[in-house]
Amino acid sequence: MSRPAIKGWALPRLTKMRCHLDLGRAALSLQIARATTRRALAMPLKPSIPDEATLAALLSNIQSLCADLPAGVQLDITLSDALARCWIVERPAGLASPEEIDAMACDQMGQLYGDAPAAIAQWAIRLDTAPFASHWPAIALPRALLDLLTGLAGERDWQIGRVETRFVRSFNALRSNPFSRAKSAIYCLDTADGLTVGIRHAQQWQALRAHPPLAMIGAELPTLLRRDCRATGLKLEDCQVHTLRWQDRGALQ
């Protein structure tokens, strides 16, 4: 497998027109062909479950930005990694059903983030359960955000294609096979919202972490990467570092 399978909450369908909507913490962007329109959010999104007021403001912003999108378009959606949770799930010994795997991922997220069962239920979790892999990347997004997006798409007759975090979209966009480049590799995506780091070793994911912006935590990138590597038993000097590209970098995030 040359790309991680953390790809979509919905399968893409063939349509005449394909657009890309990006949700950052402070702004939205809509890309149609080569043209991109950006708009600041009336209420910035926080890295947590959004409340009703925030959702209502976000819906209004999206409706305004996408007012001219016709029915039938395919809409790919990305979300800032700051709005998601990400971690690595270790594959259980023996065979496990999808229900057991989902339950295990929910339990692990609850332990990592200190969530009660009711809070865990407010997140939609997807895993890259690649065959023969011993470590699976897991990403969780607020169900309220997904419900808002799918509900609006249904009302406007838009076909939702991929729903991904910025890190996943940027990683999937790599043109060569990233798994064949080095035994140990680090993938970094740095945006104004934060820094996401993925670490692979011996063809397995070892870590997937979303950090606050470097300026906020007062750390240099090599220092942070060295710390993340140490947590996986690796040395930064033994890893090949790849900087992922985000198309809206430098614009409103």
Query: How confident is the prediction for the chain on average, in pLDDT?
Result: 88
Confidence of residue 98 (pLDDT cuts 50, 70, 90): confident
Identify the pLDDT of residue 241: 94
CB within 8 A of 101, min separation 6: which ones? 89, 92, 127, 129
Average pLDDT score over residue span 187-199:
95
Q: How many contiguous H segments (helices) and E segments (strands) does the chain have? A: 7, 12
CA atoms of 83 and 52, how far apart (whole Å): 16
Average pLDDT score over residue span 134-149:
96
Is the predicted pLDDT of residue 199 greater than 80, yes or no? Answer: yes
CA-CA-CA-CA dihedral for 230, 140, 34, 32, to nearest 10? 180
Is the predicted pLDDT of residue 249 greater than 60, yes or no? Answer: no
Identify the pLDDT of residue 100: 87
| Entry pTM | 0.88
Query: What's the Cα-to-Cα distance from 202 to each of 64, 146, 221, 235, rounded to whole Å?
Result: 47, 34, 23, 14
Give the highest mean pLDDT range of 13-17, 130-134, 161-165, 173-177.
161-165
CA atoms of 209 and 231, how far apart (whole Å): 11
Quickly name the fold that domain 18-82+141-171 has. Answer: Nucleotidyltransferase; domain 5 (3.30.420)
Confidence of residue 215 (pLDDT cuts 50, 70, 90): confident
Q: How far is CA 225 from the centre of its chain?
A: 19
| Of residues 102 and 144, more confidently modeled | 144
CA atoms of 54 and 23, how far apart (whole Å): 13
Is the predicted pLDDT of residue 69 greater than 80, yes or no? Answer: yes
Q: How many CB atoms lie within 10 A of CB 61?
A: 18
CA atoms of 212 and 253, how far apart (whole Å): 14
Identify the pLDDT of residue 132: 78
200-205, Cβ contacts within 8 angstroms, sequence gap of 24 or more: 201/232, 201/234, 203/179, 204/133, 204/134, 204/135, 205/4, 205/88, 205/128, 205/133, 205/135, 205/136, 205/137
Is the predicted pLDDT of residue 2 greater than 70, yes or no? Answer: no
Above pLDDT 90, what percent of the chain? 72
pLDDT in tens, 5-52: 444 444 444 446 899 999 999 999 999 988 999 999 999 999 999 999
Question: For the residues of 7-24, what is the DSSP string, one character each?
Answer: --SS-----S-EEEEEE-
Is the predicted pLDDT of residue 221 greater than 60, yes or no? Answer: yes
| Of residues 60 and 93, more confidently modeled | 60
Identify the pLDDT of residue 129: 86
Identify the pLDDT of residue 13: 47
| Of residues 226 and 34, more confidently modeled | 226
Confidence of residue 179 (pLDDT cuts 50, 70, 90): low
Identify the pLDDT of residue 60: 98
Confidence of residue 95 (pLDDT cuts 50, 70, 90): low
Q: Where are the CATH 3.30.420.40 domain residues in the chain?
A: 18-82+141-171
Residue 185: beta bridge partners? 200, 240
